[in-house]
Homo-oligomer: A and B are copies of this chain.
Amino acid sequence: MKRKVIEKLESIVGSDWVVVEEDQMQDYLIDETPEPVRPKPNPDVVVVKPEGVQEISEILKLANQESVPVVPRGGGTGLCGAAIPTKPSIILSLERLDDIIEIDRDNFTITCEAGVTLEKLLEELEETDDLFFPPHPGDEGAQVGGLVIENAGGARAVKYGVIRNFVKGLEIVLPTGEAMELGGKIIKNNTGLDLLDLVIGSEGILGIVTKVTFRLYPTPKERVSLVVPYGDRHSAVDTVPDMLREGLTPLSIEYMEEDLIERACEHLGEKWPVKTRGSAYLYIIVTGNDEEEAFSQCEKIGNICQEHGALDVVIADRRREQEKILNIRSNIYTALKPDSVDILDVTVPPAEIGKLMDEIEKIGEKYETYIPAYGHVADGNVHPHIMKEDGKTPPYMESMKEEIYSKTKELGGVITGEHGIGKTRIKNLPQAVGSKYIDLMKKIRKVFDPNNILNPGTVVEDD
């Protein structure tokens, strides 16, 4: 990196907050994308840690003057390489913006700086006892700015929706350096074009999020888990629409198959606590305002599951048992990861998820490989893993991926439901959205970022 740029950065944030030593910046160069598909980071970078909006604004102005790309950096928990610098860059870490500014009990909002981790936010809310932030996209090391910019999803979207539904207000710094407020603590807003939603999920190319106001919900007083084993996939997934149509809307409905449960148990050294075994499982978390409401829902859900051929309906109402099951479910991903070359995030209309999983299985058979898949069944969101062969990336990886994407599209779906395009899926975007869509995105990016400074090579190719 040019000496001049480093000196100017030091004069903006102070030399303590500029990192140039290679050994101190390794953590800033990668994210959670599986190594075989992860973009190679460019080593010619400098890490800068501003304390607030004013400094961020000055850094962006400098970057425009010196034509140096800026890559915003949150918790580094992304899965599509969006935060990996692939050009000589300034890595702008939000870690010092870590204050929770306000919990507003009457307007049901929490406002915090972008660098606050999900863990910190959840801990802070736990103390209120009655205010709840429903989304839980996985890794609690994620920062709220990253949750917004990647529009994170997770298992709890069934009842409450993805992060987008919770973002009420943002403070951002535009690529050209101006700070701007979008939205606020308001529920309804038709004041001009919806730039707030345009920034949500924009993967850091339209501005740097510096402050977020999330909407909160009342904490459900009761939580019960159901584990429902089935003899086959379709009986399990076909239960879901019938359940929802009856007005039964759980917090989450996850789909898992026996072999993946075993793999996760082995990985953890745990024992699956449910006696009745099946080949496929629904794992349902029900919430209610009181015990009666929660159990009445469980009963109705149990009946519907049994009408669809469930082999058993197991209720876990003790906290320890619930946590054990949840932990096993969460570790399917971790157990598979070392042997995975890519984790897909395909999403179809929810009722098509069984068909999609059949198609994925067939594609696996064609290539003589096993494609483990599990997912958020009520959202139509599946995560097929492409596995290593003899410890290496199989030669058919790209063509197999394209076939999965193509089947997904045939079923009315999209290539990414919650992980994003980032840098790893950019080559699949023309197949997914077509050239006119890409053309509009490129031009919108140009409106916000005329010099192509912010996170280049993400979402859309550079011109």
Chain A residues near B (Cβ < 8 Å) = 104-109, 130-131, 150-151, 153, 157, 161-162, 164-165, 174, 178, 180, 184-195, 197-198, 200-202, 206, 218-221, 241, 244-249, 289, 293, 345, 347-352, 376, 378-381, 412-421, 429, 432-434, 436-438, 440-441, 443-445, 447-448, 459-460
Q: How far is the CB of A109 from chain B (nearest CB, A)?
A: 8
Q: What chain B residues lie within 8 Å of A289 (beta carbons)?
A: 246-248
Q: What chain B residues lie within 8 Å of A448 (beta carbons)?
A: 440
Give A219 to B245 CA distance when docked, in angstroms.
8
SS class of chain A's interface: helix, strand, loop or mixed? loop
| Given A105-B245, A106-B351, A241-B108, also A157-B380 (CB < 8 A) | no
The residue from B188, B218, B247, B429 contacting A247, defined by CB atoms under 8 A apart: B218
Q: How far is the CB of A401 from chain B (nearest CB, A)?
A: 15
Check B444–A444 contact: CB distance below 8 A: yes
The residue from B153, B195, B218, B434 contacting A188, defined by CB atoms under 8 A apart: B153
Q: How far is the CB of A387 from chain B (nearest CB, A)?
A: 24
| Given A190-B418, A221-B247, A413-B186, also A195-B437 (CB < 8 A) | yes
Check A380–B186 contact: CB distance below 8 A: yes
Check B188–A381 contact: CB distance below 8 A: yes
The residue from B184, B194, B441 contacting A414, defined by CB atoms under 8 A apart: B184
| Given A130-B245, A429-B191, also A186-B444 (CB < 8 A) | no
Check B436–A187 contact: CB distance below 8 A: no
Q: What chain B residues lie within 8 Å of A433 (beta carbons)?
A: 191-192
Q: What chain B residues lie within 8 Å of A381 (beta carbons)?
A: 187-188
Q: What chain B residues lie within 8 Å of A130 (beta carbons)?
A: 245
Check A194–B201 contact: CB distance below 8 A: yes
| Given A440-B448, A447-B443, also A193-B189 (CB < 8 A) | no
Q: What chain B residues lie within 8 Å of A429 (beta carbons)?
A: 191-192
Give A374 to B200 CA distance when docked, in angstroms.
32
| Given A130-B245, A193-B198, also A188-B157 (CB < 8 A) | yes
Q: What chain B residues lie within 8 Å of A459 (beta carbons)?
A: 192-193
The residue from B184, B185, B421 contacting A190, defined by CB atoms under 8 A apart: B421
| Given A412-B186, A440-B448, also A192-B105 (CB < 8 A) | no
Q: How far is the CB of A223 from chain B (nearest CB, A)?
A: 13
The residue from B194, B198, B349 contacting A184, defined by CB atoms under 8 A apart: B349
Check B194–A200 contact: CB distance below 8 A: yes
- Centre residue among A162, A218, A246, A421 by max chain B CB count within 10 A: A218
Q: What chain B residues lie within 8 Å of A249 (beta carbons)?
A: 218
Check A416–B246 contact: CB distance below 8 A: no
Q: How far is the CB of A190 from chain B (nearest CB, A)?
A: 5
Check B220–A178 contact: CB distance below 8 A: no
Give A202 to B206 CA distance when docked, in angstroms.
19
Check A192–B247 contact: CB distance below 8 A: no
Q: What chain B residues lie within 8 Å of A376 (beta carbons)?
A: 188
Check B107–A187 contact: CB distance below 8 A: no
Check A194–B186 contact: CB distance below 8 A: no
Closest chain B residue to A442, Cβ basis = B447
Check B108–A244 contact: CB distance below 8 A: yes
The residue from B378, B419, B421 contacting A192, defined by CB atoms under 8 A apart: B421
Check B447–A440 contact: CB distance below 8 A: yes
Check B245–A189 contact: CB distance below 8 A: no
The residue from B188, B189, B349, B437 contacting A180, defined by CB atoms under 8 A apart: B437
Q: 29 pairs across A/B with beta carbons < 8 Å? A: A104-B351, A105-B245, A106-B241, A107-B241, A107-B351, A108-B245, A131-B245, A151-B190, A151-B194, A157-B188, A180-B437, A186-B414, A187-B347, A187-B350, A187-B381, A188-B376, A189-B417, A190-B201, A190-B417, A190-B419, A192-B432, A193-B198, A193-B206, A193-B441, A194-B202, A218-B245, A246-B289, A443-B447, A447-B447
